[in-house]
Structure 1
Amino acid sequence: MISSASGSRALFDIGDAERAAFRALPRHVWDFIDGGSGSESTLRANRTALDQVCLTPRALTGVTHGDCAGELLGSPVSMPVAVAPMAYQRLVHPDGELALARAARSAGVVFIASMLSSRTIEAIAGVGAETWFQLYWLRDRDRTEELIKRAEASGCRALVLTVDVPRMGRRLRDMRNAFTLPNTVTAANLPESPAAGPGSTAHREQPGGSAVMVHTAEALDPALSWADLEWIRDRTGLPLVLKGIMDPADASRAVDAGVDAMVVSNHGGRQLDGALPSVTALSSVVREVSGRCPVLVDSGIRSGTDVLKALALGASGVLVGRPALWGLAAGGRDGASEVLHLLHTELEQAMTLAGCADLSSAGRLTTTVPAGVLAARTGTTP
């Protein structure tokens, strides 16, 4: 049950969690997690594109139960879902990443810990979830290598390099709110954060701007290139996932460079405003990769039916971001667990109704989309 001022309420869809989180959070925190960049056109387009993907169910299949279980990068999962990397989760609940990682462990899905987590990677991995570590390209190469080694030593099963943030997008809600981190929340994995505390850039108000944006600009190197990808590949034996691939040419080059998976992502509409919706880019990337590595997708996933749509369009799985954070904000670990349980229930129901016994048959469903909305992949109806 999601908690509210009037008591506990049943969660019937992800929208219930969204509304509960909105009630629970201060407005400036809500804007920080909910907002996109610029006019937020890509933020809206992500949902529009998903809503316009139609599935063609199969009949007379004899399917009585859709089996959602599968694997991601060789690890068994209850459904092809990972909790997306999201920064500073203690903003929305005191337990932050530890609560959400526990929810992921209970749900049997992957938890991707952000480099900008408000708990250390050691503490997060210690929860026992299947944990991947998300990495930004830092100006300090030694610190980058140190974080890679810490992730390995903590038992993380993969590195997720985010490649679409040479700098943060202009997130106007945060700028108008002059958003700063409270003194109790730090980027716990960055060496200066625990000691600097309220003295760090992210805690100092920037008139007319976002302190988090300034802090990120100081820490991240915008000049990330293919040569740097090779530098990372040479320093770890962990599977390497690239997050933020949208162009088929980049996808092909990434496979040639030896990446183990990629995530088609426009960063949930928080980076380039006007970018293609992630699900619109998915088919051409899947076609280009042609089975050489798993392709996941994020941005706008709000239901189990959305997960099924992504699978039908060729994805191996999805990353779920804001919905998990809404559950955390509304009810801590229990709230996040309820969101993930609901996604599983919805996916199983959608697979059954579509005549899909398992994930393999889900990937063979036919999709239909309005002309111009989504590039058709092999087997789809334009």
Structure 2
Amino acid sequence: MGTEKKPAGAAPSPPQPPIRDPPYADYLYDIYRARLMADQLPIATTDSYRLEEQARKVMTKEVAATENGQDAIPARPAAFGYIAGGAGAGTTVEANRRALDGWALVPRMMRTGRKAVDGTEMDAATASLRDLRVRLFGGPGRGPPVDLSSPVVMAPVGVQCAYHPDREVGVAAACAELGVPFSISTASSSSIEEIKASLDDTSVEDSAGSPSPAPWYQLYWPQDDTITASLLQRARAAGARVLLVTVDTFTISWRPTDLDAGYLPFLTTNEGNAIGYTDPVFRKKLAEGEKSGDDDDGKNEPLTPENNPLAAALGWTSEVFPRRARPWSDLAILRKLWGDDGAILIKGIQHPDDALLARQYGADGVVVSNHGGRQVDGAVGSLEMLPEVVAAVRNAEAREAREKESVGKEPFTILFDSGIRTGSDIIKALSLGAQAVLVGRPVMYGLGIAGREGAKHVLAGLLADLDQTMNLIGCSSISDLGPHMLRRGGAPFKASL
């Protein structure tokens, strides 16, 4: 993780967070200690191939009230189907796993740990810690870099109240405890301000007592630019500096699981609309656009989400799912609204030419993603396209450097999601050129099984798996990874995922 040269007069980069100590891998031993000392088993399975089925069993039955005061939770079969299902026949969900399982790690042995920057040996305890830190947007350009304690970001997932009453505020707190950025979805069932308050109330579990990482904000792009401006202002006020613009979900795909259940939460249960309903500009426009009908005094009152939920839901969903894509040139609008000191990532990129277009039109990076297979059936697995996207972008950067056209540009950031389930999955994506990954479904399964603590358990387990696997393959830092750590031809595809 080398240092970037800064232009004369540039502001110094903030210091990176310390290497995590105790390491994430200690969670593995915490589980064994809990069994030994308290006869306590994990709150949810640690097997990523069994997690979905466990969530199915829990969410399709009523959960009884507990002695500590938690109310009973009704069965949530449609909500489980909503998070677990994919587009069409689910072939893209399967393709994501085939792409990951088609690569195999090549471990190296008897590597004794990291060395100091000057090449000298560290003490054994310090050298044994894996350096999982990553720096995004790290070069001359817009704003300071974004430093992460690990290469893992919580993906934006909407409607979390459907999976468990702890909803987004609970998952955000779980992420904060582990030092993982939480991505606020436009389709959240908690407001931006509620999520920010939850993050502020939660401390990071590391030796340095670092503050919780700033949230990221994911945008389903409204048609009305004044509503977009209001959402982005609220996100910036909450501390967000990274904007995830989801470009592959401007309309809902053909999802048989949801269609068979007649379940579209934004309309059928009025869930996932909290950010719109708490937005002053949307509420103002809603009130100006229609009347709610006669009240007790025979007068029409302004329409609100409270007095006409269906009309409000239809108004909000028509804004954020307008059924047509935006042109690339509209990124200039977002740049103006988000600011030059913030980073913009285009989420939903599969083709290398689209990554180049994102770069051409002023984005700071892309997320190579097919929305977890939820949008297009029969599409290519996300990891299949990652090497092509990386090659196209890095070749363009090298060409511009030779031609001296890249002065003042920061390196283009490339993240990955779709199909991540294990620590080795993360390592494979990083080895193929991603700088960090987003994880979604597994954490939602943990939420559905056991609320905030279940989400935290799944995320802590994934980080421990990553940390321990890095140790076992002889890699002491993220910079040790690359294509040389992989070979084609991994384990057979497991259809259970």
- Aligned partner (choices 255, 266, 274) of residue 188 of structure 1: 274
Q: Deviations over 1:202-234 (max 9, x none)?
A: 97xxxxxxx9xx974564231311121111112
Q: Residues 161-172 of structure 1 correspond to what in structure 2 (within 5 A)?
A: 161-172=245-256
Greater mean deviation of Cα atoms: 182-191 or 121-130: 182-191
CA shift for structure 1 position 105: 0.4
Aligned to 1:66: 130
CA shift for structure 1 position 365: 3.8
Q: 1-side partners of 2:366 and 2:181: how far apart?
A: 15
Q: Deviations over 1:77-99 (max 9, x none)?
A: 33101111111100011120000
Aligned to 2:328: 226
Q: 1-side partners of 2:185 and 2:307: how far apart?
A: 19
Q: Deviations over 1:300-327 (max 9, x none)?
A: 1001110011111111010001011111
Whether the aligned pair in 1 keeps the contact of 2:250 and 2:320 (CA below 8 Å) is no
- Aligned partner (choices 276, 300, 312) of residue 431 of structure 2: 312
Which SS does the other structure have where 1:32 is aligned? Answer: helix
CA shift for structure 1 position 11: 3.4
Identity of aligned residues (%): 37
Aligned to 2:104: 54
Aligned to 2:467: 348
- Aligned partner (choices 217, 226, 234) of residue 150 of structure 1: 234
Q: Deviations over 1:321-346 (max 9, x none)?
A: 10111111111111111111111111
Is 1:199 the counterpart of 2:309? The answer is yes
Give the partner amino acid of 1:173.
Answer: T
Is 1:323 the counterpart of 2:442? The answer is yes
Q: 2-side partners of 1:50 and 1:21: how far apart?
A: 23
Aligned to 2:383: 279
Q: 1-side partners of 2:461 and 2:88: how far apart?
A: 32
Gap change, CA 1:99 and 1:32, over 3 Å in 2: same
Gap change, CA 1:215 and 1:123, over 3 Å in 2: closer
Whether the aligned pair in 2 keeps the contact of 1:50 and 1:300 (CA below 8 Å) is yes
Give the partner amino acid of 2:416.
Answer: V
Greater mean deviation of Cα atoms: 361-370 or 98-107: 361-370
Aligned to 1:11: 45
CA shift for structure 1 position 65: 4.7
Structure 2, unaligned runs of 5 or more = 1-30, 32-40, 60-75, 114-127, 138-144, 200-211, 284-303, 398-410, 491-497
Which SS does the other structure have where 2:216 is aligned? Answer: strand
CA RMSD of aligned residues (A): 2.5
- Aligned partner (choices 92, 114, 118) of residue 42 of structure 1: 92
- Aligned partner (choices 137, 146, 153) of residue 82 of structure 1: 153
Q: Deviations over 1:272-324 (max 9, x none)?
A: 11111111110011111117312111011001110011111111010001011
Whether the aligned pair in 1 keeps the contact of 2:222 and 2:319 (CA below 8 Å) is no
Q: 2-side partners of 1:145 and 1:115: how far apart?
A: 13
Is 1:112 the counterpart of 2:183? The answer is yes
Give the partner amino acid of 1:226.
Answer: W
CA shift for structure 1 position 145: 1.4
Aligned to 2:78: 28
Q: Deviations over 1:34-91 (max 9, x none)?
A: 0001111101111111111112222332235533233445333331011111111000
TM-score w.r.t. length of structure 1: 0.87
Aligned to 2:361: 257
Q: 2-side partners of 1:14 and 1:142: how far apart?
A: 42
Aligned to 1:379: none
Aligned to 1:376: none
Aligned to 2:293: none
- Aligned partner (choices 171, 176, 179) of residue 100 of structure 1: 171
Q: 1-side partners of 2:275 and 2:325: how far apart?
A: 22
Whether the aligned pair in 2 keeps the contact of 1:13 and 1:342 (CA below 8 Å) is no
Q: 2-side partners of 1:83 and 1:315: how far apart?
A: 15
TM-score w.r.t. length of structure 2: 0.67
Structure 1, unaligned runs of 5 or more = 2-6, 204-210, 372-382
